[in-house]
Structure 1
């Protein structure tokens, strides 16, 4: 999964429940992780198929079912490798396993694995050419970075800037393979395929961020204490950039000679302005990256109150 969307999913919907106002249990975190990774595997396979179709059309060669099948398998293997690594790293483990999973969860490890699997299927051998493996490792360098623009209080990532890195990675792969004596295709079809892959993938994960992570949601507000209670809701819109608040609270007054309560009604809108830009790389899929954020808040809520007090006077 895109490193940025992975970070956002973990921090916004996987780890903490806004509706219940408490951290999620490990079982629920794993369930969300698995669901989003299944989406990622399917999306990567679909993007790879679209890229293969675009590359074949640019080269002017007939598109066959084998081409599409190989592309889908390669994309699924790449995404699945990173998903398995991420799932294992949710639980405590020893240092050697961390190193292995970190390698598998990077573009270098997952791309090399995908190239080996696809090359073995196409060439009908048990060992992929070393030239292709080296080319895949070198091409993983630009694919390991991702410039991201974040929008809204839920930090919904807009990752269309990663298309340029997909194009550069595809170009690097075919040119490196050609320089090592194992040509694959001319550079132009590779550039087109990389652009199509990046466009399909970035478009889908951006929609996921806007429609799932940054969707409008109602957050219940409930707080009970010895001094009173509060109940109501906060409706977030526009990726959390606007929060409509409707809260009723009751505070009990107990003092020397005074007994009563005070009711307060708070209504209005809180405006958030949250934006950011960041650079993520593969190790950042655990905890990392360089991000610059700006955030400002304007509170336009108003409160009105009524009270019912009884004063006890000793004669």
Structure 2
């Protein structure tokens, strides 16, 4: 799962409950993290299988169950390595472990794991040439340009397709330059494009349907002077918030009693747009984002009061 998606899941879903308006417990955070990472492993596996099928077709070789099986294992291992690193980094760490998990969670670490595993399955060994090629190919894969949309900063990741294509091209050419050719350039480009398309399209659907989905947030607050109750309904991507709040304040004092009611209704338009340039689409932190933000409050408030004042002459 790309770093941008991970950050959005953490900030919008995992860390804080909008419906309860309070931080989630550590157990809830771990459960949400596990669910999203299981989804990520499944998606990466499916994208790898689709890429292998497309690459075999472009190369003109029969598509066998071994090809699909090797691709599935590689995709699952890559996503699992990042997931394990991210899960361990949720808890307080010492410096050496952080360095180890950071390396495992980067494209370099996960790509080396993938190449070693798949090469051992196919060749019975992992040639140094392929490991070096995997490290070099991780450089373009370690950048992900992400466009953000909406108040929930829903990420749109289609721009990462070009980097998947470039990564596949770099891996094949580097292996060839080191004297260990794998396949012609065209099948590698096709496989990279298919992987990026499947992954980016599905992740964007997740962003819009889960991260930026419509939410109904209930408001309730009691104090010595009264209470506030109501709800705020946010539309997809959080660009419009429909507000309906009823606040009651009670007046108590010497010679005074009564209450004051305030009704607030309307819509708040709240949106953000930006471009994020992230180092490593893995599970570690980092990145640079340029955002614009705008808010337009179109709510109206009306009030009624019922006060009694007793004055002793």
Superposition TM-score tier, normalisation by shorter sequence: over 0.9
Superposition deviation, residue 154 in structure 1: 0.7
Partner of 2:31: 31
Where do 1:1-315 residues align within 5 Å? 1-123=1-123, 125=124, 127-282=125-280, 285-315=283-313
Moved more, 194-203 or 250-259: 250-259
Q: Distance in 2 between matches of 1:29 and 1:36?
A: 11
Q: Which has the higher contact order (CA 8 A, sep 6+)?
A: 2
**What is the CA–CA distance in structure 2 between the aligned matches of 1:170 and 1:129, rounded to whole Å?**
18
1:39 & 1:175 partners in 2: Cα distance?
Answer: 32
Q: Specify every segment of 5 or more residues in structure 1 that has no aligned partner in the other structure, as ranges.
A: none
List per-residue Cα deviations over 1:231-263 (Å, max 9, x = no partner): 010000031110000111101123443211001
Distance 2:254 2:280 in 1: 63
- What is the Cα deviation at residue 282 of structure 1? 2.2
CA offsets 1:78-129 (integer angstroms, 9 cap, x no match): 0000000000000012111111100000000000100000000011x2x300
Cα distance in structure 1, aligned partners of 2:202 and 2:62: 27
Q: Compute the TM-score of the two structures, normalised by the length of structure 1.
A: 0.98
Deviations 1:158-188 (A, max 9, x none): 0000000000000000000000011010001
**3-state SS in 1 of match to 2:284:** helix
Residue 195 of structure 2 aligns to a residue in which SS? Answer: helix
Matched-pair contact (CA < 8 Å) for 2:216–2:233: yes
Cα distance, 1:17 vs structure 2: 0.3
Cα deviation, 1:179-224, whole Å, max 9, x if unaligned, reads: 0011010001100100000000000111001000100010000111
Contact (CA 8 Å) 2:143, 2:281: kept in 1 or not? no
Match of 1:87, SS? Answer: helix
Cα distance in 2, alignment partners of residues 284 and 294 from structure 1: 25
- C-alpha RMSD of matched pairs (Å): 1.0
The answer to whether the 8 A contact 1:102-1:283 is kept is: no
Task: Assess if the C-alpha contact under 8 Å between 1:153 and 1:273 holds in 2.
Answer: yes
User: TM-score if structure 2 supplies the norm length?
Assistant: 0.98
Deviates more, 1:274-283 or 1:287-296: 274-283
- Secondary structure of 1:160's aligned partner: coil
